[in-house]
Amino acid sequence: MRVLLVEDEKRLADLVKGGLAGEGFAVDVAYDGRDGLWMASENDYDAIVLDVMLPRLNGYALCAKLREAGNWTPIMMLTAKDGVYDEAEALDTGADDYLAKPFSYVVLVARLRALVRRGGRERPVSITVGDLTVDPAGMRCRRGGVEIALTPKEFAVLHGLARRAGEVVSKSELLAQAWDFSYEGDPNIVEVYVSALRRKIGPGVIETVRGAGYRLEAA
């Protein structure tokens, strides 16, 4: 099994590489983010072990760039001790697993083997429909590269449409996506949020399908 280790602490990198080699892994090492990105893009790996704090390109950005390029090699992120936000951001940017430093070497090997068994599978970090990009993890929306500020509820409605782009999504389905089960208000509230989205995003994206619902199309 071939693994890429991206870690700028040379002593730690050498120790991990030697230990993994003893377990039968073939390990390549990159000591900064840009070299790691190049190696991950140019070679086939069964898994990538990626530190968060890296020179030249941090681990979050590296992971996001790989996912945006369609590289779904399983990634384990090494985060700071007790770094709850580090762990959350690691998963949000497309990592498959995380391990807090200092970590147990036995656990590292076990989790790596589990990642390799599962293999890479496509889990898009963002949804692109024409010039519109919806980032569920970051709750961000861009059109033509320009950031669009949305309220949480507006984003929930847009996400409900984007995840089924090209399909008709009914009001009831959008209600189930953006409101909880206890909501007993007027279902036409969906129309209010769709109108708000149209004002903010612009024309030619959200289409009304009379009697059926709404459809998100590439402009």
Tens of pLDDT, residue by residue over 159-208, are 889 988 999 999 988 987 777 556 778 888 999 999 999 999 998 899 99
Residue 105's pLDDT band (boundaries 50, 70, 90)? confident
Q: Could you tell me the two tokens for 148?
A: 């669009």
Query: Mean pLDDT across the stretch 20-27?
Result: 84
Instruction: Give 18's contacts (C-beta < 8 A, 6+ positions apart).
Output: none
In this predicted structure, what is the pLDDT of residue 125?
66
- Rounded Cα gap, residues 75 and 43, in angstroms: 14
Whether the predicted pLDDT of 91 surpasses 90: no
pTM: 0.61
- Tell me the pLDDT band of 85, cut-offs 50, 70 and 90: low
The region of weakest confidence among 58-62, 79-83, 102-106, 160-164 is 79-83
For residue 84, name the pLDDT band (cuts at 50, 70, 90).
low
CA 80 – CA 27 distance, rounded (Å): 23
pLDDT at 195: 95
What pLDDT is attached to residue 122? Answer: 59
For residues 17 and 41, is the Cβ–Cβ distance under 8 A?
A: no
Which of 53-67, 95-109, 120-134 has the weakest average pLDDT?
120-134
pLDDT at 81 over 60: no
Stretch 9-21: mean pLDDT: 91
pLDDT in tens, 35-51: 999 999 998 888 999 99
The three state secondary structure string of 52-117 is CCCCCCCHHHHHHHHHHCCCCCCEEEEECCCCHHHHHHHHHCCCCEEEECCCCHHHHHHHHHHHHH
pLDDT at 123: 58
DSSP assignment of 126-145 equals: SEEETTEEEETTTTEEEETT
| pLDDT number for residue 138 | 67
- Band of the pLDDT at 90, cuts 50, 70, 90? confident
Mean pLDDT of all residues in the chain? 87
Which residues lie below 8 Å from residue 162, measured CB to CB, with a gap of 6+? 127, 129, 132, 134, 216
Q: What angle do CA 182, 185, 188 make, to 5 degrees?
A: 125
The kind and range of the H/E element at 176 are helix 171-178
Q: What integer pLDDT is reported at residue 161 of this predicted model?
A: 94
Backbone angles phi, psi at 46, to 5 degrees: -80, -25
